Amino acid sequence: SQTIHQWPATLVQPVGSPLSLECTVEGTSNPNLYWYRQAAGRGLQLLFYSVGIGQISSEVPQNLSASRPQDRQFILSSKKLLLSDSGFYLCATGGAELFTEAFFGQGTRPTVV
Amino acid sequence: GENVEQHPSTLSVQEGDSAVIKCTYSDSASNYFPWYKQELGKGPQLIIDIRSNVGEKKDQRIAVTLNKTAKHFSLHITETQPEDSAVYFCAASTGGFKTIFGAGTRLFVKA
């Protein structure tokens, strides 16, 4: 079965500092990978998805970027954090159903101060 | 654009009672409808899903129904237990890369 690792779990960073969140996947090859953001009390907003190494699609124009340097590694970054970047970030990979997200990581909660 | 509405936003039931969460979707091309359970501080976990060629699916105390004509689908939890307390999300997908999620329902099961 698939396992998703996300780190760090939490972090506190000042406005204007860079951000890097990492996600790695075990138990599958060539997965579709996704980054979601969840605001407090809200649903999940798709930020980026990737169907392969170096292939990134952005859903929401914003202060963030994503990269996929290896088949099972997905990175979310920001050069300069904004207060609005606080939230809960979730990495996900497709499950048994093609092109659907079935497995989520435990999430990373950056707090921008 | 595509939209998924979920109701209620908060649901409180007594242990042993049933809980029903309802969702409607706007894109008639949607053909896959997963439900996720999210416990505090954790990522969502897939609990059940249904495809558009099926009207109902059951897994122990959990069942999902789909009405394609009305573009409604619902989650039913019977004999609720305190460990069922969590946030539940519905979602709809057309089979592409985008899955649209509802805003979530916070379920409280009182012992």
- pLDDT at position A61 is 66
Interface probe with A: pick from B21, B33, B37, B46, most Cβ of A within 10 Å:
B46
- Write the DSSP string, A56-74: EEESS-SS-EEEEEETTEE
In terms of phi and psi (left: phi > 0; alpha: psi -120 to 50; beta: otherwise), the region of A30 is left
Which pLDDT value is given to residue A25? 94
Cβ <8 Å between B43 and A90: yes
The pLDDT tens digits of the residues spanning B42-69 come to: 889 999 999 988 899 999 999 999 999 9
What is the number of alpha carbons within 13 Å of residue B69 lying toward its C-beta?
A: 1
Is A44 within 8 Å of B89 when comparing Cβ atoms?
A: yes
Q: How far apart are CA B27 and CA B98, in angstroms?
A: 12
Q: What is the pLDDT of residues A4-28, one digit of tens each?
A: 999 998 889 899 999 999 999 998 8
pLDDT band per the 50, 70, 90 thresholds, residue A95: low
